[in-house]
Structure 1
Amino acid sequence: MFRSSLPSRRRALAVAALASITGLQAFAPAFAQDAYPSRPITVIVPFPAGGTTDIVARLAGQALSQELGQPVVIDNRPGAGGNIGSQMVARAPADGYTLVMGTVGTHAINPALYKKMPYDHLKDFAPISRVANVPNLLVANPSQPYKTVKELIAYGKANPDTISFASSGNGTSIHLAGELFKTLTGVKMQHVPYKGSAPALADLMAGQTNIMFDNLPSSISFVRSGKLRPIAVTTLKRSPELPDVPTIAESGVPGFDASSWFGLLAPAATPPAVIKRIDDALIKVLANPELRKKIIEQGGEPVGEKPEQFAAFIRTETTKWAKVVKESGASVD
């Protein structure tokens, strides 16, 4: 009887083993998802350290590191209006360990501004979430004779091509805000591009240039210290951090509206489960009062959204800024 039951017992054991293996395979995706991240994550900032993109990336990166349990390393790779660093991420392994802090420049303006792009901003990336919206601030070297938008316009028309406006690079929102100002006011100004806000601000404060439409977070400390003179905010609403500074629109240029945004993106083929893991963590940390306070104190507005919402927003912004670029006549070879 023992011998006759042996084949049956073997078959039973084989069936049990097969069921066990099948079960493990079914749970494998969950195990893989739970394993992410298992090593440090790199966030490429396509602009120099010290600028708004860098500030936002470091604030978000520090919070994400605590939430994900792995270091988030900020790697500044400036150049070509953010195109160099963004291209690096477009070509990086799609495993969730190399991300980019994209901007309105790299993922909305540049495609219309540059005659040849090293990446497709819609096809080569998987949007994760916007991190923050940021108004731009029109600031001037305190030695300049104008203190208001009307005085700036009057001076510019009386002295064409004598006002130089600095920017963090060709194609950035800072550059396009200046071009939009020229178009709407008829003031002729000279554009002086830099590789990031930090060097542009340094030369502005040194008197090498006259004005700048800078991202508020990177210039607000200099405004508070008196090293820069605030003239106006570029958004339709005033900034809560500088409530006494008027908007350009209310200062005699109706309809003027130019702002910046910053968001995380991954290479296009990154697994949806990994994208969701990062997005869930990002939305959670952006809801934290401590991080929100830090971003607001820098002049920004915390966001946090789903990947599909960010993707739709990028498409809308692409259409908006393509029109501005065309109307301004701005272009970069």
Structure 2
Amino acid sequence: MIKGGKLLAASLFGAMVFGSAGANATDYPARPITLVVPFIAGGAFDVVARLAAERLGNELGKPFVVENKPGAGGTLGGRIVANAKPDGHTILLSGVGPISIAPAVYKNLGYSPAKGLAPIIQLTSSPFVLVTSSQYKGTSVKDFVEFLQSAPGQYNYASTGNGTLVHLAGEYFKGQTKTEFEHIPYGGGSQATLSLLSGDSLFSITNIPNVLGQVTTGKLKAVATTGSARSAVFSELPTMIESGLPNFELSGWIGIFAPAGTPDDVIEKLNGAFAKVMQQPDMKQRLIEQGDEVATGSVKDFQQFVAHSDQTWQAIASDANVSID
């Protein structure tokens, strides 16, 4: 009797636990959702987060509170979310740098995004742009490669810092074109752009928002973009692939992640809400204006996309021997 009573009690306790978990997921969200952005306010990631937050609050019935947690190249915010309770009430808006590049270049990152975070949905795709200073008078990628090859090591490449996607994009370009140039890391996009404007650097392969204004006013020259298709904001420019570099396809991206272990139905609910919000016409137009293009899909789509992104940037970092202590 005692043994059977213990079994019955255990069964009832198990039913209560699992029933409670199911109820929590069904009733999600139960309180405001914290959307962690691992960069400072006002940047491209923050803009996407704040554009989405109000719409998501209306969609799910609870407010989305954007919290900026900059630090450690964008990886601090990822660690915060990875250590949060996996119930969907603390989630992360991040991108290729902190998620795929940082594990490839930092020896002691402190956590594994692939193990600590669960992909929910991709929000945007952002091709880079090959942009040059006024020192370069040509118009095509072919001409530019020949220009660099004629003076190996004599020109500077401006990046947004060691180990950043802009740095690795330059290293990938170097390998694909068999050119030589000096990498000059700056403290961010504005400093790198200033070096192009002053003529201290000849070129960069950078995020479109970093140079959009200067290209539009003719102060810098855009030569090609790096996506699989032409950019909506620079539709007149060829891609690198169209320009004769068949393997040159690189893009930044922004996506949403939850702590690993978050219930699948919560992740699916978030996926559906974000997908609906991102497809709103005014949202899409606002993002196009800053060089981002909406790119949503299923949870499985994003899981596979992130795995491929991790492999791509790991290979680029390894081939270029880029490693940071």
| Aligned-partner Cα distance in 1 for 2:265–2:187 | 35
Unaligned runs of 5+ in 1: 1-21
Q: What pairs with 1:37-116 in structure 2 (closer than 5 Å)?
A: 37-44=30-37, 46-116=38-108
| Aligned position for 1:187 | 179
* SS at 1:123 equivalent: helix
Q: Distance in 2 between matches of 1:35 and 1:252?
A: 50
Task: For residues 172-211 of structure 1, give each alpha carbon's deviation from its aligned partner in whole angstroms, at most 9, with x where no partner exists.
Answer: 3322211110111122222233454344334444545332
**Amino acid corresponding to residue 35 of structure 2 in structure 1:** T
How many residue pairs are counted as aligned between the two chains? 310
Name 2:111's counterpart in structure 1: 119
Which amino acid in 2 is paired with 1:190?
A: E
Q: Which deviations, in whole Å up to 9, do the C-alpha atoms of 1:208-230 show, x marking residues without a partner?
A: 53322122244334322334321
Structure 2 gaps, min length 5: 1-14
Partner of 1:251: 243
Trace 1:93-242 onto structure 2 (pairs within 5 A): 93-242=85-234
Q: Read off the aligned partner of 1:39 and give its amino acid letter.
A: P
Give the equivalent residue in structure 2 for 1:318.
310
Question: Aligned letter for 2:229?
Answer: K
Q: Which amino acid aligns with 2:239?
A: T
| Cα shift readout 1:58-106 (whole Å, capped 9, x = no counterpart) | 3333432332344434344444432233223222333433322221222
**Structure-2 change in CA distance of 1:62 and 1:230 (3 Å):** farther
Residue 167 of structure 1, CA deviation? 2.7
1:56–1:159 distance in 2 versus 1, CA, 3 Å:
farther
1:34 maps to 27
Structure 2 CA distance, aligned partners of 1:103 and 1:330? 19
1:233, CA displacement in angstroms?
0.7
Which SS does the other structure have where 1:129 is aligned?
strand
Instruction: Name the CA distance, whole Å, in 1 between partners of 2:19 and 2:191.
Output: 54
Kept in 2: contact 1:241–1:299 (CA 8 A): yes
**Structure 1 residues 139 and 271 mapped into 2: Cα distance closer, same or farther (>3 Å)?**
same
Provide closer, same or farther for how the CA distance between residues 306 and 213 of structure 1 changes in structure 2, counting only shifts above 3 A: same
Cα separation, partners in 2 of 1:95 and 1:292, compared to 1, 3 Å: same
Give, as a single letter, the amino acid of the residue that structure 2 aligns with 1:240.
A
Q: Is the 8 A contact 1:80 1:169 kept in 2?
A: no
Percent identity, please: 37
Larger radius of gyration: 1
Q: Tell me which moved more, 181-190 or 85-94.
A: 85-94
Which letter does structure 1 place at the counterpart of 2:148?
G
Q: How far, CA to CA, are the matches of 1:304 and 1:288 in structure 2?
A: 12
Contact kept, 8 Å, 2:25 with 2:265, in 1: the verdict is: no
Letter in 1 for 2:257: L
* TM-score of the pair, normalised by structure 1: 0.80
Partner Cα separation in structure 1 for residue 67 and residue 198 of structure 2? 28
Per mean C-alpha deviation after superposition, the further-off stretch among 27-36 and 138-147 is 27-36
Give the aligned residue type for 1:115. K
3-state DSSP of counterpart to 1:122: helix
Letter matched to residue 231 of structure 2 = S
TM-fit CA distance, 1:320 = 2.5
Q: CA deviation at 1:147?
A: 4.2
Cα pair 2:31 2:89 within 8 Å, conserved? no
Distance (Å, rounded) in 2 between the aligned partners of 1:47 and 1:231: 29
> Is the CA contact (8 Å cut-off) linking 1:78 and 1:196 kept in structure 2?
no
- Separation in structure 1 between the aligned mates of residue 90 and residue 124 of structure 2, nearest angstrom: 20
CA–CA distance in structure 2, aligned partners of residues 76 and 27 of structure 1: 32
RMSD (CA atoms): 2.9
1:95-151: CA deviations, max 9, x gaps?
A: 433322221222223222222322112110011100011111111233554543234
Residue 10 (structure 2) aligns with: none
The two structures have a TM-score, normalised by structure 2, of 0.82
Q: Does residue 299 of structure 1 match 2:303?
A: no
**Structure 1 residues 215 and 91 mapped into 2: Cα distance closer, same or farther (>3 Å)?**
same
Shift of 1:161: 2.9
